[in-house]
Structure 1
């Protein structure tokens, strides 16, 4: 959702890695629920990746290739997390929007 148009930023991108938005008054609709589920999965994967990163970084024998892969995965997880935070933050800023406060925060 952007402050000016009430659209929800979705947790995936479209062609050319451009953001996707949803315009709906139905927060229980199929696409809204799909987006909620995708966000939850992205955040869970980020937690798992963070745990893995701690293990890899604690191992002094981690090779450069493994560290490079870890950095790539962490970058993608951070991108996803920031997209989720932006989307949820925008919805919190506009409680009069039909989506209002996300269910897990109310």
Structure 2
């Protein structure tokens, strides 16, 4: 029998990368001189990171709710990418890229 998580490994990998990039981006934004103007970015990055980690857990155990959660994850990833793209920092660019890739993988998984 194939391990449950192996079926969704590419999505799990994308979610993990996204979670790390989002957490890094939020933390980096807190340290930026204009951090007050980045409150939405900071919040959505932390939300996205947590949702990605939760999605990994649901996929790893083969939860019947994994597809629904991954669809929500894709939506939040898209919103996070859009927010990060409004800033020119390297950490925001990396985060947006990881979010777009994660959204793509989550949509495939949820289909």
The structure with more radius of gyration: 1
Q: TM-score, normalised by structure 1?
A: 0.45
Q: TM-score, normalised by structure 2?
A: 0.43
**More helix, by proportion:** 2
